[in-house]
Amino acid sequence: MGLFIASLFLFLVGCASDRVDHRDLDLRVLPASEATFNPEPFISAAISLQSMGKDAGSLVLLRAANTADFYDYDKLVVLCRMLFIFRDGIDYRSPSLGHREFYGDTTFEDWPLEPITVVDGCPFWIVGLVFAGARSPDAASQYVSYCITNCAWNTFRYRQLNAGQKRSALAKLLQSPKWKRPLSDGEEFLLSSQIGTSWIQGEKLTPDEQLTSSKLAAIMQRVKPWPSSWAVANTNGYTSDDWSNLVSAATFLQRCDPTSIQKTFVEWEACKIQDLYCDYLTGTKLYLVTRIIFDLPETNRIQTWDSTWPIKWNGGIQPSIEPGPNSNNGRVYPAATDFNYFRGKYKYRNLSKYRSN
């Protein structure tokens, strides 16, 4: 009887180990890196993969890469940078991310783990602009396979970090001697926003936060343009992450001094903001944001013009974009005019009730 129980125990342990070894990595829970980077989901994924051990963790990572799409590539690159370290004598191959421009006039040589750096176990995205080119369909699996073959498994053990630990890591990064010049307000804003310090949580914000051109450029980098056709809108071209970024941008602007918003919008219309094009696509971002900021009435969309269009609020908490033609008529969106008009007629929308799709 004792031998039977012992054998049963070993069998169950073996089954449990087998289940762990064959867990899947859900890439959908990881944010799109260059626009919405958040270290917490990546830390959680790294902890899970490390708990499996090198062989099983590498297998799960590779299995995820085999089914990854174009937008998953960056996520897998980040995980590989966290989980693998370079071996001596290996001429390491950089990931296929396209052209990169780093914060603070830094270069590839400054960031061996680019597109991220890891400070006290907290990863940060340190690339300001990424112009991704075409990739082969199996680029993700090729990169993961390359790391498994040519790199060593990282012995540093990731762990969950509290808010204070993440702020401490951010402070070290902001004070790094690697920066070739002082970081701009926008660059510091984007780095801080990755741990929620100055984004929707607003720990650094005051009710009279001053909007500057660099902050507006940083905010708009996160916002996705309005889908430009019936087809795109009908296929949910705006994801939950896209909506969260749009609402976050509106939330930040609601906390800004309105005079500074007016001034900065005018600067944008005059094409005077560096790193923020005064073009049609950027105009669609500002168009959507202004319709999120204000509690605009929804009217009959067939018989009369609706100031909220193309956004439908579905009970005031779950927005969606309705399909429809999207023509710029060759004009720059009058963001300052719209903002002032809405501000004189409507109150700010209560975005605390927001719920993503």
- Are residues 149 and 7 part of one domain? yes
113 and 13 share one domain: yes
Query: Is residue 184, in this structure, part of any structural domain at all?
Result: no
Residue with tokens 């995205």: 125
Identify the weakest region by mean pLDDT among 14-23, 89-98, 317-326, 344-353: 14-23
Q: Answer whether residue 294 is part of any domain.
A: yes
In a domain, 26, yes or no: yes
For the ranges 17-31, 111-125, 222-236, 281-295, the one whose mean pLDDT is highest: 111-125
Angle at 191 between CA 185 and CA 195, to 5 degrees: 130
Does residue 345 share a domain with residue 238?
yes
Domain boundary among 136, 153, 170: 153
Same domain for 244 and 142, yes or no, is no
Domain boundary among 153, 170, 195: 153
Residue 244 confidence class, pLDDT cut points 50, 70, 90: confident
Q: Is residue 173 a contact partner of residue 166, using CB atoms and an 8 Å limit?
A: no
Say if residue 212 is in the same domain as residue 137.
Answer: no
- The predicted pLDDT at position 37 comes to 79
Residues 217 and 149 in one domain: no
Residue 317 has a pLDDT of 66
pLDDT of 176: 95
Whether 24 is covered by a domain: the verdict is: yes
How far is it, in rounded angstroms, from Cα 82 to Cα 77?
Answer: 9
What the block records as the tokens of 162 is 């509290």
In a domain, 179, yes or no: no
User: What's the whole-number mean pLDDT along residues 283-290?
Assistant: 90
CA atoms within 13 A on the CB side of 268: 32
181 SS3 class = coil
- pLDDT level of residue 231 (50, 70, 90 thresholds): very low
211 and 336 inside one domain? yes
Residue ending a domain, among 153, 168, 187, is: 153
Number of separate domains in the chain: 2
Whether residue 162 is contained in a domain is answered as: no
Q: Same domain for 232 and 92?
A: no
Range of the domain at 51: 2-153
Assigned domain for 13 exists: yes
Whether 220 shows a pLDDT value over 80: the answer reads: yes
- Checking if the pLDDT of 318 tops 80, the result is no
State yes or no: pLDDT of 306 exceeds 80: no
Query: Is 146 in the same domain as 257?
Result: no
Q: 146 and 235 share a domain?
A: no
Instruction: Examine the domain organization and report whether 65 and 135 are in the same domain.
Output: yes
Does the structure show a pLDDT above 90 at 163?
no
Same domain, yes or no: 94 and 229: no
Residue 251 lies in a domain: yes
Look at residue 157 in the predicted model and tell me its pLDDT: 97
